[in-house]
């Protein structure tokens, strides 16, 4: 007992820490009280602190005393199965031993005590055979189901096994688990042939035909590897005449002859066929469930007698393919080949022959002897002759049997080359962009009859300029180089050539050479586009529009002169332009300037002839000019030009290309505004002339000098803008209401812009 001025205090797990409200202490006597049941599996121990405090000061009188309170275990938890497999599939052919069912059991009670020590046993199984047990897996805390004996899918397809887990506590607690074993069918039954022997027939020399189907029975589950049959030929197929396959739908064996049998050599063949399943056969021994044995049974076999039926054998050529060598273009009537034929079933003298393949129609065949004779000259360069110079002929020999039998023979005619072709130009027309062009030739003959060839210029037909214009360099080979000796005008030129092959066979040919401007490419530039022109009706409409515009401007000028107030003049008659406010009262009117000079392009003289070019005429280029002028501050003018297409090449005429040209000029002037707009394209042919005329006009206007005024009046009475100060106005802008007549024009322009934009002040 403590004195009255001291008291006890408790803290820690179960008091001030979770789980709170478990312990308390008497302040005076220090007795510890427990208020709740404690689960050891949740809180295996409690750490509690005891202190003695002074009541008056609250200070600790002594050091804190700490205790670890361990909770004593009782057997209040039964064992439980962890990750239990309740369903497992077991193959019927599984050898005795472990089943694919591992068992892991745990207990939450204190480890290494009787409360957590567990024993497993098979409580029951249905059915009772084969016997199922439990065995602990070495090195682990896991157990696994085992069995001894054999499963029989045909008898039992599912087993129910009850396993018990029991601890050693007092009292002992236990739990059970049910495992269902599903037995899967395996190959425990051999396939059996439905018949003990089979007989079939095959025609002599027949091949690639089904001759027999054999069927089997199997007690295993259909359409499984344990049921599907695999057939094989174990005897009687030493020469590879037969094959056997499985029909995947019916499980039958299909016997097929793949190579014909000769009746004269074999009349009956005994073929032995074996059958087994895709899955190996499993047989449980007869020694009982405690001593099963896996036996390997021999596959089932059956004998098939294949009878060969005699048929009419076809004739046989002594050589199925024969090579014949001849020269092309030889005289007709030559016998190329006479076949030698034998026939074991028919009289050779009664065999007839037919021509099967002769694409060029060069030969004929004697129906009795089979002699192949030419009826036309054979050409090595024919499209029916392949790249190896071989012409193929096929013939048939047909006997008089029932039905008739046919044999096929092939004749390969190797054609030798002769010099029966002369060289020729590959292209008759060539484009010359510089001073040289390549002239390729071809000769269908092969060396030594074809090219390389020799080239020379042909006869110029009295024109002495041929050799002065052209030469050949190189003049030998598979192609020649045609070179111009001097610069030639653009146009077409005809050059005759003489070409000799290696045997001196001469060929005369003509090449057309087109001399033109190619630019950066190897071909002539494209022709100019066709131009268009304005008709009389279109020109009339344009003139009428200009006159109507003139009348409208005059009317607006009259309206302005007649009124006192500002009258708005619509200045934006075109989409683009320049507006300028001009006050003519300052210096007494406009300048006395000269009228603008109008340049009229000189058309090309009609019917200009190109002497050495393409020898064509170029039509003239008509030029139509329309102009108008008026008084009263307005003047207008327009020019319309048309340029026609010029055939041929322009560079030979001294030009740089022509195209359609249209030029229009419109001018409007008034005492308060000026608008000008123009478009124009000038012909490249007249650029130089245009520049010369402009320079000449500038040089001639030496008297057109700026007009000098001796006296321009006194200076402006207005105050300088730099001296204005808006601060003196005191934000009074009423003076803007009446600015005088000088601001009417500016006000009208601003008013129109505000109306168009819907702006209100």
Residue 249 near residue 156 (C-beta atoms within 8 A): no
Q: What is the pLDDT of residue 624?
A: 39
Residue 672 binned pLDDT confidence (cut-offs 50, 70, 90): very low
Q: Sheet containing 197-203: which strands, arranged edge to edge?
A: 197-203, 300-309, 268-277, 229-235
β 174-184/87-91 pair status: parallel
pLDDT per position as a tens digit, 346-393? 788 889 999 999 999 999 999 999 999 999 999 888 899 998 889 999
Q: Which domains does the chain have, with CATH numbers?
A: 6-70 (2.60.40.60), 80-184 (2.60.40.60), 192-309 (2.60.40.60), 316-416 (2.60.40.60), 424-515 (2.60.40.60)
What is d(CA 392, CA 378) in angstroms, rounded to the nearest whole number? 12
Look over the chain and give the mean of its residue pLDDT values, rounded to a whole number.
Answer: 77
The β-bridge relationship of strands 406-416 and 352-357 is: unpaired
708-738 as b/e: b if 16+ CB within 10 A: eeeeeeeeeeeeeeeeeeeeeeeeeeeeeee
pLDDT of 478 reads 80
List, for residues 601-642, the tens digit of each pLDDT value: 444 433 433 333 333 333 443 443 433 333 333 334 443 333
- Residue written as token pair 């210096």: 587
Angle at 395 between CA 389 and CA 401, to 5 degrees: 165
208: tokens are 């690639």
Tell me the two tokens of residue 377. 């000259």
* pLDDT-wise least confident of 133-147, 166-180, 381-395, 452-466: 452-466
Whether the predicted pLDDT of 162 surpasses 90:
yes
DSSP letter at 284 equals: B
- For the chain, state the CA radius of gyration: 61
Tens digits of residue pLDDT in 201-217: 998 888 999 999 999 99
Phi, psi of 148, rounded to the nearest 5 degrees: -130, 130
User: Is the pLDDT assigned to residue 140 strictly greater than 90?
Assistant: no
Report the pLDDT value the prediction gives residue 26, as an integer from 0 to 100.
Answer: 85
Alpha carbons 121 and 315: distance in angstroms, whole number: 85
Show Cβ contacts of residue 358 under 8 Å, excluding neighbours closer than 6 positions: 393
Where would I find the H helices in 222-294?
none
pLDDT score recorded for residue 659? 40
CA atoms within 13 A on the CB side of 645: 9
Tell me phi and psi for residue 684, to 5 degrees. Answer: -60, -25
Residue 696 pLDDT? 63
Residue 115, Cβ density class (10 Å: 0-12 exposed, 13-18 middle, ≥19 buried)? buried
Q: What is the pLDDT of residues 63-74, one digit of tens each?
A: 888 888 888 888
Alpha carbon distance 109, 76 (integer Å): 7
Look at residue 653 in the predicted model and tell me its pLDDT. Answer: 35
pTM for this prediction: 0.42
């Amino acid at each position: 007992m403590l004195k009255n001025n001291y008291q006890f205090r408790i803290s820690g797990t179960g008091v001030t820490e979770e789980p709170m409200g478990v312990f308390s202490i008497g302040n005076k006597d220090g007795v510890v009280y427990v208020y709740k049941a404690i689960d050891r599996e949740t809180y295996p121990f409690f750490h509690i602190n005891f202190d003695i405090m002074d009541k008056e000061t609250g200070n600790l009188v002594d050091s804190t005393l700490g205790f670890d309170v361990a909770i004593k275990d009782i057997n209040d938890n039964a064992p439980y199965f962890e990750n239990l497999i309740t369903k497992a599939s077991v193959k019927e052919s599984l050898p005795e031993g472990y089943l694919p069912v591992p068992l892991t059991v745990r207990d939450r009670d204190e480890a290494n005590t009787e409360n957590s020590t567990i024993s497993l046993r098979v409580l029951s199984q249905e059915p009772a055979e084969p016997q199922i047990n439990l065995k602990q897996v070495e090195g682990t805390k896991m157990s696994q189901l085992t069995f001894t004996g054999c499963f029989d899918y045909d008898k039992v397809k599912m087993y129910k096994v009850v396993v018990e887990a029991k601890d050693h506590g007092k009292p002992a607690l236990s739990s059970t688990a049910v495992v269902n074993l599903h037995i899967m069918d395996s190959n425990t039954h051999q396939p059996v042939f439905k018949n003990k022997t089979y007989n079939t027939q095959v025609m002599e020399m027949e091949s690639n035909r089904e001759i027999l189907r054999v069927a089997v029975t199997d007690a295993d589950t259909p359409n499984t590897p344990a049921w599907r049959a695999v057939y094989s030929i174990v005897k009687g197929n030493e020469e590879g005449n037969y094959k056997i396959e499985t029909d995947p739908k019916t499980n039958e064996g299909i016997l097929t002859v793949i190579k014909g049998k000769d009746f004269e050599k074999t009349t009956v063949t005994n073929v032995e066929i074996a059958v087994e399943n895709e899955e190996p056969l499993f047989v449980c021994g007869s020694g009982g469930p405690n001593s099963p044995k896996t036996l390997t049974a021999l596959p089932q076999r059956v004998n098939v007698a294949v009878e060969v039926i005699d048929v009419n054998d076809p004739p046989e050529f002594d050589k199925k393919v024969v090579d014949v060598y001849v020269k092309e273009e030889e005289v007709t009537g030559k016998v190329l080949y006479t076949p030698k034929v034998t026939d074991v079933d028919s009289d050779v003298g009664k065999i007839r022959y037919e021509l099967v393949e002769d694409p060029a129609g060069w030969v004929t065949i004697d129906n009795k002897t089979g002699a192949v004779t030419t009826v036309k000259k054979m050409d090595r360069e024919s499209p029916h002759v392949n790249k190896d110079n071989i012409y193929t002929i096929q013939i048939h020999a047909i006997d008089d049997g029932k039905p008739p039998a046919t044999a096929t023979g092939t004749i390969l005619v190797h054609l030798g080359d002769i010099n029966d072709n002369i060289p020729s130009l590959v292209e008759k027309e060539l484009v010359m962009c510089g001073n040289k062009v390549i002239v390729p030739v071809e000769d269908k003959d092969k060396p030594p009859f074809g090219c390389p060839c020799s080239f020379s210029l042909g006869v110029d037909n009295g024109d002495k300029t041929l050799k002065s214009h052209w030469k050949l360099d190189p003049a030998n080979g598979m192609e020649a180089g045609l070179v111009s000796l001097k610069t030639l005008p653009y146009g077409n030129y005809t050059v005759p050539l003489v070409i000799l092959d290696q045997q001196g066979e001469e060929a005369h040919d003509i090449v057309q050479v087109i001399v033109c401007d190619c630019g950066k490419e190897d071909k002539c530039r494209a022709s100019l586009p066709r131009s268009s022109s304005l008709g009389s009706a279109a020109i009339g409409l344009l003139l009428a529009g200009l006159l109507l515009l003139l009348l409208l401007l005059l009317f607006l000028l009259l309206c302005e002169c007649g009124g006192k107030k500002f009258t708005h003049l619509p200045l934006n008659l075109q989409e683009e332009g320049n507006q300028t406010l001009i006050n003519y009262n300052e210096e007494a009117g406009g300048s006395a300037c000269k009228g603008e000079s109008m340049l009229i392009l000189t058309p090309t003289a009609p019917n200009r002839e190109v002497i050495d070019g393409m020898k064509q005429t170029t039509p003239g280029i008509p030029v139509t000019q329309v102009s108008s002028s008026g008084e009263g501050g307005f003047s207008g003018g327009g020019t319309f030009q048309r340029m026609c297409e010029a055939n041929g090449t322009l560079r030979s005429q001294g030009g740089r290309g022509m195209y359609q040209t249209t030029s229009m000029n419109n001018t409007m002037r008034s005492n308060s505004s000026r608008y000008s707009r123009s478009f124009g394209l000038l012909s490249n042919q007249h650029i130089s002339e245009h520049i010369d005329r402009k320079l000449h006009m500038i040089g001639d206007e030496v008297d057109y000098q700026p007009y000098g005024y001796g006296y321009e009046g006194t200076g402006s009475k207005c105050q300088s803008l730099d001296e204005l100060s808006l601060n003196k106005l005191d934000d009074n802008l009423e003076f803007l209401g009446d600015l005088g007549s000088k601001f009417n024009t500016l006000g009208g322009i601003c008013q129109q812009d505000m109306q168009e934009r819907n702006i209100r002040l």
